């Protein structure tokens, strides 16, 4: 079964928002063995939407449309599909009463344009919207299926996972299982990684090997096809072993994990708590670790010591240190790591100080970064980096280097 | 001039990455009056890319292709376009020497597959890559132009802004100017906003009015077309006045500003400094304010008091407060705001405590949030919220409410 995803919305074509729905759906469809060959984005314009539908019908068995189901006048997806397929729109009573209920819950008056959201294509299977108002739907005409989903990701994602995927599994004939596994690497560039495993990529068939670089990391996606999942996993295992024999030192985890998540798991497994002092990263490390549910088991708290006086007064960095070496220095990073650990009473302290840019600081270049680590009962240590890129990029990669440095230190 | 953006990359169709390039380019093209009617995503497959090109040629004057210019074997865009247009690929000496230089700068060995990146279409204008290796290019064949840009956003974005846009302005005949302005609202839902200005939207022609809801905010994009920019702005001004006469109390800013940016500007204009104590938001407020370049002028630092003991020991919240009311309480928020202000020696303290979920805390429901504000010389005050949604959504909207609360308090 081949699918095409059509996102409807002029706000996408104007660049007001990014098409995360296509990413989410592609990932979910890959997991259940549905090939996605095209994404299309088209505006809130019935004629152009019809044109895009006709092209999609020439190349896909399943067409998923996202957006344009809302209450406002530019929401035209249902009406356009109905006219294209020669189907009527009818009120769905369940959806209508759920919309009325929704307004009661959030304690707002239900305006009349919301009733339009309860219209569905005649004969369609209705997908309930547990996080908003407009229901989704699936209808099959001439052996081709059309799934309509709401635009807001916080409505679309749970709707698809809970109800949409099941409808697709009903449509799809039984065939080979497709299994994917992503290997994640840090500290090696994409072209170097590919050169190291060049012959493996050349010889690839099943599994296929697809490299991708993003945000200072490189990933390899291995995708295998087999009669059942177990066999597919065996094929992937074998290729993975060959790859890791060559570049295993840069490997840190699988699939959607992150360096922060690996660090969290490691700290949790070792029953260690951590505190953090952040200067150039301004809270990014702490925000990332606390975005993990259950963070409180390992993360206690920390200080954002953006101004030099906060480094001195709150974290007791010595006057001599800032005067002799500056706030951007190995000495300052070491004191910050040690002192935040004792202030917060944690097992580990980690610190970040450096120049995020756009301007130099203390005569030091943009991208100069020091990371300090203090582990109870061990000598504190630091890592010095020279990063390139934008302010945001430098901050992000600083955090990744910090996670990597601490992970390696723990495993020593 | 009508444009279509074709992103090439199987990683997009597998959902490994999201197509932010289409968003970026759409925004830039709208600014220079180029209509974008379609985005297409196609995999690393020459046949399907040719098919997508043919469709784009039937509906666009300018085709922008992103991705597939890199060193690896699945990078096939240039080769496919060359064969489709019947053009040769030639080595660009400037690009080749810049690639060699790049490897020297980052101190890595240049592998042989990198030479492929210096190939360009014969007769094309070459767009230098200041942040990576593969150059971009523009070529015009039969009055239709093709622009090829690299996939990584950190290369594509500066390349387009610096060199690509100029090439498009050379191609485009002089015509009407299109001006857009976005009005941003906080504290009102999309359907309610639309109901309030229903007749204005019905009567819209020039400017058009497009509502959009995202992350707890609603925006209205007003787009006008006129002989020159000044006239277009006058048309927008008039409609804006009509809108703000009805819903002005929820309006907070224009275009790509954010509540945090508005707060930063307000603090900067008043010469006030701020400190922050964060529990459920774990550093998000501080990370956001420090992502603004120049943040140091207003933001001094703060404490992430995730564990209750950090609230007590570092920020001196009274034992009676946590015992009687709990850490998630108005009393705790007030003490945190006051005490972080005095610890950091700032003019203003802001605090966030609450339940981000997924589980209840102290018997309090997920989404219960208290925000404390302490302004030097004034009585401290707090705001209590009951938010819905995911852990990430609750944290994000907590920060927005905090910015909004403080902005209003400053203006009182």
Of B40, B74, B306, the CB nearest to A300: B306
Instruction: Give the model's pLDDT for residue B55.
Output: 97
CA distance A72 to B201: 10
Q: Spell out the domains of chain B, with CATH numbers in brackets.
A: 2-171 (3.40.980.10), 177-254 (3.30.70.2860), 259-411 (3.90.950.20)
Instruction: Give the model's pLDDT for residue A173.
Output: 66
Closest by CA to B280, choosing from B397, B382, B363, is B397
* Residue keyed to tokens 């020669």: A86
Structure tokens at A185: 């690497």
CA distance B153 to B159: 10
CA distance A98 to A120: 14
Closest chain B CA to residue A295: B306
**Inter-chain CB proximity A17 and B212 less than 8 Å:** yes
CA distance B237 to B207: 10
State the smallest CA–CA distance between residue B210 and chain A in angstroms: 8
Cβ–Cβ under 8 Å, residues A291 and B278: no
Closest chain A CA to residue B188: A108
CA distance A142 to B125: 48
Of B71, B74, B284, the CB nearest to A283: B284
Structure tokens at B364: 């309090």
Separate counts of helices (H) and strands (E) for chain B: 16, 17
The CB density around residue A291, as the number of other CB atoms within 10 Å, is 19
Give every CB contact of residue A105 below 8 A, 6+ residues apart in sequence.
none
pLDDT of chain B, 412 residues: tens digit per residue:
899 999 999 999 999 899 999 999 998 898 788 899 999 999 999 999 999 999 999 999 999 999 999 888 788 999 999 999 999 999 999 989 988 887 876 677 888 888 889 999 999 999 999 888 899 999 999 999 999 999 999 899 999 988 999 899 888 765 677 788 999 999 888 888 888 998 998 887 889 888 877 777 889 989 888 888 899 999 999 999 999 999 999 999 998 899 999 999 999 999 999 999 999 999 999 999 999 999 999 999 999 999 999 999 999 999 999 999 999 999 999 999 999 999 999 999 999 999 998 999 999 999 999 999 999 999 999 999 998 888 988 999 999 999 999 999 998 8
The strand pairing partners of A145, in sequence order, are A62, A140
Closest chain A CA to residue B344: A310
Give every CB contact of residue B123 below 8 A, 6+ residues apart in sequence.
B87, B139
Cβ–Cβ under 8 Å, residues B370 and B278: no
**Inter-chain CB proximity A210 and B291 less than 8 Å:** no
DSSP string, B278-307: ESTTTTHHHHHHHTSTTGGGTEEEEEE--S
Cβ–Cβ under 8 Å, residues A85 and A124: no
**Inter-chain CB proximity A291 and B41 less than 8 Å:** no
Percent of chain A with pLDDT over 70: 99
* Residue keyed to tokens 């907070």: B252
Give every CB contact of residue B372 below 8 A, 6+ residues apart in sequence.
B277, B330, B333, B334, B335, B336, B337, B338, B349, B350, B351, B353, B380, B381, B382
Describe the strand order of the beta sheet including A299-304 as a list of residue ranges. A381-386, A368-375, A348-354, A274-278, A299-304, B299-304, B274-278, B348-354, B368-375, B381-386
Cβ–Cβ under 8 Å, residues B151 and B67: yes
* Cα B140 to the center of its chain, rounded Å: 32
Q: Which of B290, B355, B361 to mutate to test the interface with A (most CBs of A within 10 A)?
A: B290
Closest chain A CA to residue B39: A41
Burial (CB count <10 Å: 0-12, 13-18, 19+), residue B326: middle
Instruction: Give the model's pLDDT for residue B175.
Output: 67
Closest chain B CA to residue A106: B388
* Cα B261 to the center of its chain, rounded Å: 13
CA distance B259 to B352: 16
Cis amide prior to B341 (ω within 30 degrees): no
Helices of type H across A86-223:
93-106, 153-159, 165-171, 190-196, 198-202
Closest chain B CA to residue A114: B191
Q: Which residues of B touch A38 (CB under 8 A)?
A: 13, 40-42, 48, 52
CA distance B84 to B80: 6
Instruction: Give the model's pLDDT for residue A9.
Output: 94
DSSP for residue A15: T
The strand pairing partners of A119, in sequence order, are A91
φ/ψ (deg, to 5) at A396: -60, -45
State the smallest CA–CA distance between residue B243 and chain A in angstroms: 17
Structure tokens at B305: 């008091």
* Residue keyed to tokens 């080595």: B91
Structure tokens at A276: 């953090």
Q: Which of B4, B7, B14, B257 to mutate to test the interface with A (most CBs of A within 10 A)?
A: B14
Question: Which is it for strands A299-304 and A274-278: parallel, antiparallel or unpaired?
Answer: parallel
* Cα B381 to the center of its chain, rounded Å: 32
**Inter-chain CB proximity A108 and B306 less than 8 Å:** no
Beta-carbon-side half-sphere exposure of residue B218 (alpha carbons within 13 Å): 18
Residue A275 has pLDDT above 70, yes or no: yes
DSSP SS3 for B107: coil
Burial (CB count <10 Å: 0-12, 13-18, 19+), residue B143: exposed
b/e sequence A176-192, b meaning 16+ C-beta within 10 Å:
ebbbbbbbbbbebbbbb
State the smallest CA–CA distance between residue B230 and chain A in angstroms: 21
Which tens digit of pLDDT belongs to each residue from A225-260? Answer: 888 889 999 999 999 999 999 999 999 999 889 999
Cβ–Cβ under 8 Å, residues B160 and A38: no
CA distance B350 to B340: 8
CA distance B280 to B354: 6
CA distance A330 to A371: 8
Q: Which of B282, B294, B312 to mutate to test the interface with A (most CBs of A within 10 A)?
A: B282
Q: Which residues of B touch A40 (CB under 8 A)?
A: 38-41
CA of A395: how far to CAs of A283, B115, B218, B225, B338, in Å?
Answer: 10, 31, 29, 40, 29
**Inter-chain CB proximity B192 and A37 less than 8 Å:** no
DSSP SS3 for B102: helix
State the smallest CA–CA distance between residue B140 and chain A in angstroms: 23
Q: What is the count of residue pairs from A and B with beta carbons less than 8 Å apart?
A: 307
């Amino acid at each position: 079964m081949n699918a095409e995803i059509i996102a409807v919305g002029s706000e996408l074509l104007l660049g007001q928002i990014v098409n995360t729905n296509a990413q989410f759906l592609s990932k979910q469809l890959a997991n259940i063995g549905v090939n996605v060959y095209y994404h299309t984005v088209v505006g809130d314009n019935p004629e152009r939407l019809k044109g895009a539908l006709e092209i999609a019908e020439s190349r896909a068995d399943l067409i998923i449309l996202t957006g344009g189901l809302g209450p406002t006048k530019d929401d035209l997806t249902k009406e356009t599909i109905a006219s294209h397929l020669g189907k009527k729109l009818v009120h769905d009573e369940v959806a209508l009463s759920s919309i009325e209920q929704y307004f009661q819950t959030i304690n707002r008056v239900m305006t009349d344009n919301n009733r339009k959201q309860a219209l569905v294509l005649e004969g369609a299977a209705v997908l309930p919207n547990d996080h908003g108002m407009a229901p989704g739907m699936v209808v099959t005409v001439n052996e081709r299926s059309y799934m309509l989903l709401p635009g807001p990701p916080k409505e679309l994602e749970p709707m698809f996972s809970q109800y949409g995927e099941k409808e697709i599994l009903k449509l799809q004939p039984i065939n080979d299982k497709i299994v994917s596994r992503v290997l994640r690497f840090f500290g090696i560039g994409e072209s170097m990684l590919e050169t190291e495993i060049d012959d493996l990529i050349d010889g690839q068939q099943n599994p296929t090997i697809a490299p991708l670089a993003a945000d200072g990391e490189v990933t390899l996606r291995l995708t295998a096809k087999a009669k059942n999942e177990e066999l597919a996993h065996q094929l992937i295992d074998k290729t993975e072993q060959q790859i890791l024999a060559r570049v295993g030192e840069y490997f840190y985890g699988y699939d959607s994990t992150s360096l922060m998540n690996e660090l969290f798991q490691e700290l949790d497994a070792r029953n260690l708590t951590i505190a953090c002092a952040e200067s150039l990263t301004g809270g990014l490390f702490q925000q990332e670790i606390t975005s993990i549910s259950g963070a409180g088991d390992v993360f206690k708290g920390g200080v954002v010591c953006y101004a030099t006086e906060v480094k001195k007064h709150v974290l007791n960095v010595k006057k001599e240190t800032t005067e002799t070496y500056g706030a951007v220095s190995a000495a300052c990073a070491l004191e910050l790591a040690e002192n935040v650990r004792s202030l917060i009473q944690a097992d580990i302290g980690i610190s970040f100080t450096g120049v995020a840019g756009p301007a130099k600081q203390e005569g030091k270049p943009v991208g100069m970064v020091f990371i300090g680590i203090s582990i109870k009962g061990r000598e504190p240590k630091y890592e010095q980096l020279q990063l390139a890129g934008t302010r945001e990029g430098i901050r992000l990669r600083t955090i990744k280097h910090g996670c990597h440095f601490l992970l390696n230190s723990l495993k020593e």
